[in-house]
Every structure is written in structure tokens, then in C-alpha cells.
């Protein structure tokens, strides 16, 4: 089957998902993973139908290019992780990458001086592997990395309208620290963001 931006011609096809998180390994991503990660991110953060499907490859192209640039950096303050099968994925007739997440050490400057903190972004699990503990496993790995670098708190944002995302984070010990409201979210409440944090 000919490859494309979609990964394959039937990228929306159902994938067997009988495996659990115990069959899953979390490892660092590399450049060879970009295409599959692009699929997971693009499908997780966008809704496509027959009328909008044509724009999929363009969105994915942008996602992949941004990710590729981040992975090429030798900066030790950025980590991209992927959840994969412990056994050879080809034998399972399923996608290799089940989920992904990024962790970075961000720096802010304020009246109290410089503050560096770990921040989680782009947590996404392929639709066919959700509700199997994979999101929790990716979060746990981020927490381990943050601890190893001496941090005691971890931060992330989630849309207030993202009920499944909020449930995942609250279930894993994250608490809401701030409801962020700007002019846009006043008119579009679904775009209001919540700042969550967890002591580790």
C-alpha cells in the first residue's frame, strides 16, 4: 500500500486495541517516529469529516515539520516520548505508536527573578488505544524525568471543555491552579484554559 501524509490509504480504519498498558513501553521519540506522531496529534486535536478531510495532509505537514524541528535540537530541556508495543507491532497488525507527549523545561522571568519549571504539552493517545491507561503511563514517565532533574512540581494546560482530558489529569493527581480567561475565551467559553499542577 502506498504511503502518504496519512501514513497509509486507510488511516481511519479500525485498529485492534485489545492490548493494555502493561503491553506498552514508553520511550524517547526519534526522527523516524515523526510521521506516526503526526497522525496521532493531528487526529487527536482536530475533528475531520467528509467536507474537511481534504485539509488533513496540510495540517499534518505543519505538525510534523514543527515536531521535526524540535527533535533536531540538542537542547536537553525538551523531551518527546511515545508509547509503543513491547512486542513487534507488525505482528499485531496495528499502529506502532499508541500515544505521545512532550515535556519541556520552561523559564519565566518575573519580579521574583527567574523561574524554571517542567511543562507537559501535546499529550495524545490514538483513538483505538484510549481508556487503557496509556495516558497515565505517559504522564508517569514525564513525572519521573522531572524528578530526575530536581523539580518538585509539574504543570500543564487543558481546555475547560475537554472533559476526558480533565478527568485523566485529576485522576492522576493534578489539581486546578488557575482558570485563564482572555478576551477570546470570554466570547468562546469552550476555549477557556485551565492551568493544572501536581507536586511530585
Instruction: Compute, in degrees rounded to 10, the torsion defined by CA atoms 128, 134, 135, 137.
Output: -170
Pair 151, 118: CB distance under 8 Å: yes
Q: What pLDDT, on a 0 to 100 scale, did the predictor assign at position 185?
A: 66
State the pTM of this model: 0.82
> pLDDT (tens digit, 9 = 90+) per residue, 126-139?
999 999 999 999 99
Pair 94, 31: CB distance under 8 Å: no
DSSP string, 32-100: GGHHHHHHHHHHHS----TTTGGGHHHHHHHHHHHHHHHHH---TTEEEEEEEESS-GGGGTS-SEEEE
> pLDDT (tens digit, 9 = 90+) per residue, 44-75?
999 889 899 999 999 999 999 999 999 998 77
What is the C-alpha separation between 181 and 192, in angstroms, rounded? Answer: 6
Amino acid at each position: 500500500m502506498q504511503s502518504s501524509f496519512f501514513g497509509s490509504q486507510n488511516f481511519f480504519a479500525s485498529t485492534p486495541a485489545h492490548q493494555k498498558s502493561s503491553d506498552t513501553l514508553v520511550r524517547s521519540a526519534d526522527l523516524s517516529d515523526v510521521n506516526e506522531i503526526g497522525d496521532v496529534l493531528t487526529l487527536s486535536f482536530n475533528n475531520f469529516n467528509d467536507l474537511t478531510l481534504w485539509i488533513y495532509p496540510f495540517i499534518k505537514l505543519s505538525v510534523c515539520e514543527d515536531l521535526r524541528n524540535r527533535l533536531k535540537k540538542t537542547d536537553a530541556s525538551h523531551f518527546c516520548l511515545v508509547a509503543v508495543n513491547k512486542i513487534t507491532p507488525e505482528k499485531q497488525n496495528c499502529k506502532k505508536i499508541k500515544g505521545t507527549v512532550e515535556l519541556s523545561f520552561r523559564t519565566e522571568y518575573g519580579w521574583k527573578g527567574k523561574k524554571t519549571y517542567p511543562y507537559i504539552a501535546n499529550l495524545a493517545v490514538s483513538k483505538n488505544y484510549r481508556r487503557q491507561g496509556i495516558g497515565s503511563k505517559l504522564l508517569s514517565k514525564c513525572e519521573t524525568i522531572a524528578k530526575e532533574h530536581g523539580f518538585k512540581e509539574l504543570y500543564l494546560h487543558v481546555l475547560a471543555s475537554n472533559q476526558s482530558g480533565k478527568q485523566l489529569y485529576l485522576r492522576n493527581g493534578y489539581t486546578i491552579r488557575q482558570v485563564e480567561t482572555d478576551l477570546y475565551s470570554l466570547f468562546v467559553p469552550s476555549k477557556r484554559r485551565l492551568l493544572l499542577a501536581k507536586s511530585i
